[in-house]
C-alpha cells in the first residue's frame, strides 16, 4: 500500500511563495483543494497501513 506524505500548503518553497496564497477563490484549483482538505474523508486511504 502506498504511503502518503502529509502536505502543508502554507510552507515556503525555494522561492518565497506561499502555495496557499496562490489558490484564487472560485477557481477550479481552489475548489479541489477545499474538497480534498475539508469535505472528503481521507481516513479510508490510511486504513490497513499499520
10-27 tens-digit pLDDT: 776 667 777 778 889 999
**Distance in angstroms (rounded) separating the CA atoms of residues 31 and 28:** 5
Report pLDDT for 50.
61
Task: Tell me how many domains the chain contains.
Answer: 1
**Distance in angstroms (rounded) separating the CA atoms of residues 9 and 22:** 10
Q: Rounded to 5 degrees, what angle do the CA atoms 14, 16, 18 make?
A: 105
25-45 tens-digit pLDDT: 999 999 998 898 888 887 777
pTM score, two decimals?
A: 0.53
Domain range enclosing 27: 1-50
Amino acid at each position: 500500500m502506498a504511503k502518503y506524505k502529509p502536505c502543508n500548503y502554507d510552507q515556503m518553497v525555494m522561492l518565497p511563495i506561499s502555495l496557499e496564497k496562490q489558490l484564487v477563490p472560485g477557481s477550479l484549483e481552489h475548489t479541489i483543494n477545499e474538497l480534498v482538505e475539508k469535505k472528503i474523508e481521507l481516513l479510508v486511504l490510511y486504513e490497513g497501513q499499520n
